[in-house]
A and B are shown apart, each in its own frame.
Chain A
Amino acid sequence: MSEGNDLSQQAAEWLVLLSADDAAEREHSEREYAQWKQLSPAHAEAAQGMERLLASLRGIRQAPEGGRRLHRLIDGEMQFSERGRRNKRLGAALGIGLMLLVPGWLAWQHYPNTLLFADLDTGPGQWQETRLEDGSRLTLAGGSAVNLHFSASGREVQLLRGAIRVDVAADAQRPFLVVTGDGSIRALGTRFVVTRQPDATDLSMLESTTLARPSEGPGEAVVSAGQQLRIRRDGLEGVQPIDVQATDQAWQQHRLLARGVSLPEVLEQLGRQYAGVLSFDREALAQIQVFASLPLDNPQRALQLLEASLPIEVSRLTPWITRINLREK
């Protein structure tokens, strides 16, 4: 084994010299390296794996998008996994046995961006209904994730991504709280939908009332059945009326009910249900208002419907990338 390691070491040193900056040094190394490999089959074998690795790196560098873009992607991923490693050390301190027993949030709450370890999590196009321990019903739309923090004194659902419908079981002793980065919604026994937008959280009340607060700004509002409120980090926007029955039905049928919503916002929601990427220029499409009921669980169909009724062009660039442009006149 140690002999194999020595050979690997030598092979690696040769390979590095093969791409030295000086041409004469490269040529010299190439000759020597060729001879070195012929010393024994073990020599040749030691070099083979690394040679292949370098060849495949050269291969993807030739891709039209070039090595730099790929390098940036790898850097991003590496940063992500380094954060994860810190989490993992924390997890290891708690013990893997404990990890299995306690909800993931205990270990991961310090790093809310680790959606991987959300308590409940749905993929694009997958709706999921869960009965919580207190009897409340929680439905996740596709592409959503939540953490659950339940204790003797309170019930808290942290919406990390996507949209949920909550049907809260009455429990006067333990208030029910839905929390997002933008603010919180407090309820006793009621039914409502919470949707995360890129920089806000929308609350749609289906039954009874809740109390909404922004996470940083001042103010709070009592929101009742038939009302919708946008919660921003720094404050609340005005209350809008909604059709309760239609909203509830749309949720059950996995449809997006748009009543004068801007097209980029609609595409954002559709994008969460789409396995690939929807690409569009937010500014160019911002003026287009959408009045429609769209099937969220069939984003392709939804795009067809939008294309048929709006001045836009939908083109599938590859199976995973769909581009939405303004239609040229």
Chain B
Amino acid sequence: MADSNKLMHDVYSEHHGWVFGWLRKKLGCAHNAADVAQDTFLRILSSRDALLQASQSRGYIATTARNLLIDRARRQRLEKAYLEDLALLALEHPGAPSAERIWETLDALEQICRLLDGLGSKPREAFLLHYLEGHPQAQVAEHLGVSVRMVQKYLVQVLLHCQSLRDPS
């Protein structure tokens, strides 16, 4: 335990400076850079494996920080797109969803994107058409030009993919 504390301390004090500097250059803002640097080290310090890797390689730390940046940028893009969508909707229907509702939906969108990242486009489409839009499996099959059996295979594949991301054991 004492070992791991020392390792944490060493990794943090050796690397925090350049990670922060690099992020500040990328983000052009010290506040945001400090936030992302903080998250980077939180993520690294939260697992012994990650800590060991980080102590041996700057690349590992850079990759962690970069992934966080990518998550963050994705969140900003989704926010922008979703809010613009809502703004358009507001032209037609008065009464916007509550702030809380907006955040819930954004969180869900972000999570879905993260889960579906890296899947083929057909399995992904099948999953979204069926579970998000609620189309019957036969309609999804027709839309994608495959059999219903194939749609079911896609759905199983995506469900397992999501499950494997949930617990990477």
Question: Interface residues, chain A, CB within 8 Å of chain B?
Answer: 1, 4, 8-9, 12-13, 15-17, 19-21, 49-50, 53-54, 56-61, 63-71, 73-78, 80-81, 84, 96-97, 99-100, 104, 116-117, 119-123, 126, 128, 140, 145, 276-277, 279, 281, 317-321, 323
Give the residue of B90, B115, B130 whose beta carbon is less than 8 angstroms from that of A323.
Answer: B90
Binds A, one of B1-9, B41-49, B97-105: B97-105
CA distance A96 to B66 in the complex (A): 11
Is A67 within 8 A of B163, CB to CB?
Answer: no
A residues in contact with B63, CB < 8 Å: 96
B136 touches A50 (CB 8 A): no
**In the assembled complex, which residues on chain B have CB atoms less than 8 Å from the CB atom of A68?**
133
Task: Please name the residue on chain B nearest to A60 by beta carbon.
Answer: B108
B81, A20: Cβ atoms closer than 8 Å: no
- CB-defined contacts of A69 to chain B, threshold 8 Å: 85
Of A16, A99, A116, A321, the contact of B83 (CB 8 Å cutoff): A321
Given contacts A16-B156, A65-B89, A81-B74, contact A50 B132 (CB under 8 A): no
Q: Determine the residue in chain A with the shortest Cβ distance to B85.
A: A69
Mask for B15-58, Cβ within 8 A of A = 1, else 0? 00000001001111100100000000000000000000000001
Among B141-161, those with CB < 8 Å from A are 148, 152, 155-156, 159-160
- Knowing A49-B167, A119-B25, say if A84 contacts B156 (CB, 8 Å): no
Minimum C-beta distance from A164 to chain B (A) = 12
Verify B156–A321 contact, CB threshold 8 A: no
Known contacts: A77-B77, A84-B70, A318-B102. The answer to whether A277 contacts B26 by CB under 8 A is: no
Q: Which of B102-136 contact A (CB under 8 A)?
A: 102, 104-105, 108-109, 112-113, 115-117, 121, 124, 128-134, 136
Point out the residue from B90, B113, B130, B156 that lies within 8 Å of A74, measured CB to CB: B113
What CA separation (Å) do A61 and B28 show in the bound complex? 37
Interface size class of B (residues with CB under 8 A): 35 or more
- The 8 Å CB contact of A321, one of B96, B101, B115, B160, is B96
User: Which B residues have a C-beta under 8 Å from some C-beta of A?
Assistant: 22, 25-29, 32, 58-59, 62-63, 69-70, 73-74, 77-91, 93, 96-99, 101-102, 104-105, 108-109, 112-113, 115-117, 121, 124, 128-134, 136-138, 148, 152, 155-156, 159-160, 162-164, 166-167, 169
Residues of chain B within 8 A of A276, CB atoms compared = 83
In-complex Cβ contact of A73 among B26, B109, B129, B169 (8 A): B109
Report the bound CA distance from A17 to B130 in whole Å: 12
CB-based contact B159/A67 at 8 Å = no
A19 close to B137 (CB less than 8 A): yes
Do B160 and A128 touch (CB < 8 A)? no
- From B25, B78, B96, A77 is in contact (CB under 8 Å) with B78
A58: chain B residues at CB < 8 Å are 131
Contact B133 A61 (CB under 8 A): yes
Please list the 7 inter-chain residue pairs (A to B) with the smallest Cβ-Cβ separation, ordered nearest first.
A279-B87, A67-B133, A12-B159, A67-B132, A277-B83, A116-B73, A121-B28
Least CB separation from B139: chain A residue: A21
Query: Among the listed A1, A61, A75, A97, which residue makes an inter-chain contact with B134, where contact means beta carbons less than 8 Å apart?
Result: A61
**Most chain A Cβ neighbours within 10 Å, of B69, B131, B155, B162:** B131
The answer to whether A96 and B62 have CB atoms under 8 Å apart is yes
